[in-house]
């Protein structure tokens, strides 16, 4: 699955401020769908390292008009939020997926909303809040620790009534991880499949890719590398990728599936 990223934030690291009004955000989402996105992942709160939390009413003011219009157009939408009330409101408007970068830990009501709405729920691995997560990127065995911490998140969701088949896991590339740890997790994606849940990968334009490019390059110049990661993630059995440049990832995934067809 390709989740196309639609950030309606003034400060996201790679595309902040591009979709300042609802109409341009909707048009951009439509473009992502036309170029191959299966789902639009809409978020109103930046989670870049160091970001402070946004008041929930401001988050909802940003995302709800866009979300309402996308659903009206028959587009599948996921809501990228750490707030249970935003998730509940989005569920009322018809979203298909709740995507919580805190894995259901930032808001104590989130697991209950996930259970009651019975939507797909993406539980992403991170440690602490965006403001402090970089300090917590200390692991003895990155893959094993991320896997264990995801297991705890899953257990917490199950206890609160979320159905197992609704849970998608995400290693949280760039969240409480340094570049080496991000690469380790991507290299070890297969080992996350033992969790028994679909795996989502969000590597698009992230900081760890900068070292592959000339100094001073812009985040959008990381799109080719992102597309390669999409194909390799598919090869490692990932369920989905969350990307900015949908067309490049679609091409990479088409190549991967053509080669796989040829192998059979
Ligand atoms: N990354 C960001 C935001 N939301 N959600 C999931 N499930 N996985 C991610 O890796 C993820 C996310 C931050 O990136 P952005 O600022 O480009 O949206």
All structural domains of the chain with their residue ranges = 2-262
Q: In 3-state terms, what secondary structure has residue 145?
A: helix
In tens, the pLDDT along 136-164 reads 888 999 999 999 999 999 999 999 999 99
In this structure, the number of other CB atoms found within 10 A of the CB of residue 51 comes to 17
Residue 9 and residue 46 in contact, taking contact as beta carbons nearer than 8 Å: yes
Q: Which two tokens stand for residue 45?
A: 């709160």
Ligand 1 pocket test, pick from 8, 63, 124 with the greatest ligand atom count within 8 Å of Cβ, gives 124
Q: Which two tokens stand for residue 173?
A: 């590339």
pLDDT of residue 15: 61
Q: Any catalytic annotation for residue 242?
A: yes
Residue 242 C-alpha to ligand 1 middle, in angstroms? 7
CATH homologous superfamily of 2-262:
Dihydropteroate synthase-like (3.20.20.20)
**Cα gap 10→112, rounded to integer Å:** 30
Of 147, 206, 207, 250, catalytic: 206
Main-chain dihedrals φ then ψ at residue 239, nearest 5 degrees = -85, -35
Residues in the chain: 264
Q: Which of 217, 145, 139 is nearest to 178 (CA)?
A: 139
Distances (CA, A) of 174 to 181, 203, 250: 9, 8, 23
Atom in ligand 1 nearest the alpha carbon of residue 47:
13
In this structure, the number of other CB atoms found within 10 A of the CB of residue 41 comes to 27
Residue 263 C-alpha to ligand 1 middle, in angstroms? 33
pLDDT of residue 62: 92
In tens, the pLDDT along 209-226 reads 999 999 999 999 999 999
Half-sphere exposure of 163 (CA within 13 A, CB side): 7
Main-chain dihedrals φ then ψ at residue 97, nearest 5 degrees = -140, 140
Atom in ligand 1 nearest the alpha carbon of residue 9:
16
Residue 219 C-alpha to ligand 1 middle, in angstroms? 14
- Quote the pTM value: 0.95
Alpha helices in the chain (DSSP H): 22-34, 56-72, 84-93, 110-117, 142-159, 179-187, 189-192, 223-235, 246-263
Residue 82 and residue 102 in contact, taking contact as beta carbons nearer than 8 Å: yes
Q: Which residues of the chain have pLDDT under 70?
A: 11-18, 20, 264
């Amino acid at each position: 699955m390709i989740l196309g990223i639609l950030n309606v934030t003034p400060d996201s690291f790679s595309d902040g401020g591009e979709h300042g009004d609802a109409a341009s955000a909707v048009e951009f989402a439509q473009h992502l769908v036309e170029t191959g996105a299966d789902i639009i992942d809409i978020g109103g709160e930046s989670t870049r390292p160091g970001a402070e939390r946004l008041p929930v009413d401001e988050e909802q003011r940003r995302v709800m008009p866009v979300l309402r219009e996308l659903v009206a157009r028959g587009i599948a939408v996921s809501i990228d939020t750490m707030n249970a009330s935003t998730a509940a409101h989005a569920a009322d408007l018809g979203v298909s997926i709740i995507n919580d970068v805190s894995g259901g830990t930032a808001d104590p009501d989130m697991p209950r909303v996930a259970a009651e709405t019975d939507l797909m729920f993406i539980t992403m691995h991170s440690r602490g809040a965006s403001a402090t997560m970089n300090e917590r990127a200390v692991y003895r065995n990155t893959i094993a620790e991320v896997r264990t911490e995801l297991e705890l998140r899953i257990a917490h969701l199950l206890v609160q009534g979320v159905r197992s088949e609704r849970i998608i896991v995400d290693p949280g590339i760039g969240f409480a991880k340094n570049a080496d740890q991000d690469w380790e997790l991507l290299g070890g994606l297969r080992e996350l499949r033992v969790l028994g849940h679909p795996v989502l990968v969000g590597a698009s334009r992230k900081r760890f890719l900068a070292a592959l490019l000339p100094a001073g390059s812009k985040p959008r110049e990381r799109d080719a590398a992102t597309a390669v990661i999409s194909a390799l993630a598919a090869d490692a059995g990932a369920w989905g990728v969350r990307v900015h440049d949908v067309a490049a990832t679609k091409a990479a995934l088409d190549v991967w599936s053509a080669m796989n067809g040829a192998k059979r």
